[in-house]
Amino acid sequence: MKRRTLLAGAVGAIGATAVAVRAADARESALVTSLSQLQSAINSATAGTTITLANGSYAVGTSGITITGRNGTTTSPIVIQAETKGGVTLTGTKSFVFSNSSNITISGFIFKQTTSLDLAATASRIRLTRNEFALGSAASHSVVVRGNDVKIDRNIFRDKTTVGCYLVIDGPTNDPANENIAQRTYILRNHFRDHSFSGDNGGEPIRLGVSSRALADADATVEYNLFERVNGDPEAISIKSSGSTIRYNTIRSSKGGIVLRHGNGNRIESNYILGGENGIRIYGNDHLIVNNYVDGVTGSDSAGIVLGSGSERDHTPGESDTDRKGNDAPDRVVIVLNTLRNNTAGIAGESQRTVQPQSCQIRDNLIVGTSGNLTDLPYQSGITFSGNILWGSASNGTIPSGGFTRADPKLTAGSDGVYRLGSGSAAINATTANHATRVTDDLDGHARTAPYDVGADEYTTAAPVRRPLLPTDVGPNAT
């Protein structure tokens, strides 16, 4: 078989400029030119093997490309890659079908199948990197993760017009009685864009869990991902599990927001939500909502942050799938150091369900607006307010008088469109609580110093370390 060494990747649009893909350990790779050769190479692959499929379009049959009993190691994975990023298009019914395998990397492909790419529970430490997912309308979801320690990084998910998610984190079986969920999924620097399904439910870019698995700790990390024009569901990141971190993501001009629909103990930190219809919505217990920036969310029943109400106090292990789908009232949720600007409302609640929030905190947030109410919280007996700063011509709303002050934060727009504290801001050193155990930096990645500044920004003249993401920051050509 012909042997070759591929060159290091260069920048360029996927599907346009041909750029080489190579394994991190720079091993020589076997170049194959047909699906039968690819399958044969996979069947004999061992740790450290790199298999390269020559550029072209390949129609995959109903059995898919099987990866069975193949195991790399964490330092020497088995790599299956396109000759150049975006140079190989896989069409047909299925793509890769995994079982009893681990430490496999799939890189550089364009997927256009009619069924989902399903990472089975018996497949662990699988990495999907620098691919493009543009599956046909027949596919319910683009990718479903069932195995542990999967990494999904630097991919594009695009142009879905029908019901279904781009990425689902699920569990080992479809049995609702099995409450286990895939563990430690890492979702990094992906571009989720242009989901145009017009229904009211079922078109999330990311669904992290499912109602029946909501009490299981997924321990997932979702960071540095960009969402643009994701309009298939009010939830761009739908969290239906526990114990995960959602941080440093940017959502632009989208119907969907970040929704803690089910589960407990999740951390929502330093995300940008810019325009669109939904901000951050919260159900469940023990979540931390910190350092987020929500600007220009104008949904009629939404706000920068919505602290929900419940149809029940808490979900419990072993309850029926039907009971699990009810809304779990927020308990012990901490909402601190967020900046909420020019949204339909800054912080709002719900009154359509009767179980009220309990032992929640709303502290040291900066809420600014020019119309409507800055707060709209019908249930307040279970909430502690302190240190919040309100500003603008919008009315205060329902926040109790002891929970805020009216003062000018002197917000100034940066070149990235983000409004940060200006010199002489009333928010500087104005926090009323000690947040050092919760967060040590601000939205921009600058260190916070006590006493912290109110809102997501710690005043400084230094350039931001983190900014809202652009398409060049994510996807197959991202660093």
Q: Which pairing describes strands 235-240 and 360-363: parallel, antiparallel, or unpaired?
A: unpaired
List the beta strands (DSSP E) in 33-184: 50-53, 56-60, 65-68, 78-82, 88-92, 96-99, 101-107, 109-111, 117-119, 123-129, 132-133, 143-145, 151-153, 156-160, 167-169
For residue 244, which of 212, 225, 268 has the smallest C-alpha distance?
268
Distance CA 446, CA 442 (A): 5
Distance CA 399, CA 232 (A): 33
- Residue type for 201, please? N
Q: Which pairing describes strands 404-406 and 375-376: parallel, antiparallel, or unpaired?
A: unpaired
Tokens coding 395:
């009315």
Distance CA 360, CA 282 (A): 11
Which secondary-structure segment (H or E) carries 41?
A: helix 35-43
**CB–CB of 318/297 below 8 Å?**
no
SS3 81: strand
For residue 377, which of 342, 414, 341, 404 has the smallest C-alpha distance?
404
Tokens coding 107:
């890189």
Which secondary-structure segment (H or E) carries 25?
A: none
DSSP 157-175: EEEE-SSS-SEEE--S-S-
Q: What is the CA radius of gyration of the chain?
A: 23
**CB–CB of 41/32 below 8 Å?**
yes
Distance CA 257, CA 254 (A): 8
Compute φ and ψ for 405, nearest 5 degrees: -130, 155
Distance CA 226, CA 456 (A): 19
Distance CA 39, CA 55 (A): 16
Domains of the chain: residue spans and CATH: 1-139 (no CATH), 141-473 (2.160.20.10)
Distance CA 114, CA 476 (A): 22
The pLDDT of residue 176 is 64
- Residue type for 377, please? L
DSSP 305-368: EEE--BSBS---TT--HHHHTSPBPPBS-EEES-EEESSS-SEEE--SSSBPPBSEEEES-EEE
For residue 71, which of 96, 42, 51 has the smallest C-alpha distance?
42
What does the chain come to in residues?
Answer: 479
Tokens coding 407:
């003062």
Distance CA 362, CA 174 (A): 38
Distance CA 390, CA 205 (A): 33
Tokens coding 416:
């990235």
- Residue type for 280, please? I
Give the count of beta carbons closer than 10 Å to the beta carbon of residue 263: 29
Torsion of CA 267, 273, 278, 284, to 10 degrees: 0
Distance CA 180, CA 124 (A): 15
Residue linked to tokens 């900046």: 339
Using alpha carbons only, give the angle 340, 345, 351 rounded to the nearest 5 degrees: 125
The pLDDT of residue 177 is 66
Torsion of CA 304, 285, 153, 148, to 10 degrees: -170
Give the count of beta carbons closer than 10 Å to the beta carbon of residue 437: 6
Task: Tell me the CA distances in angstroms from 215 to 129, 210, 318, 427, one per residue in order.
Answer: 29, 10, 10, 38
Residue linked to tokens 């079986």: 173
Residues linked to residue 20 through DSSP beta bridges, in sequence order? 84
Distance CA 137, CA 72 (A): 34
pLDDT by residue for the chain (479 residues), tens digit each? 333 333 333 333 333 333 344 433 334 577 999 999 999 999 999 999 999 999 999 999 999 999 999 999 999 999 999 999 999 999 999 999 999 999 999 999 999 999 999 999 999 999 999 999 999 777 899 999 999 999 999 999 999 999 999 999 999 876 666 789 999 999 999 999 999 988 778 899 999 999 889 999 999 999 999 999 999 999 999 999 999 999 999 999 999 999 999 999 999 999 999 999 999 999 999 999 999 999 999 988 899 999 999 989 999 888 887 888 889 999 999 999 999 999 999 999 998 999 999 999 999 999 999 999 999 999 999 999 999 999 999 999 999 999 999 999 999 999 999 999 999 999 999 999 999 999 999 999 999 999 999 999 999 999 999 999 999 999 999 99
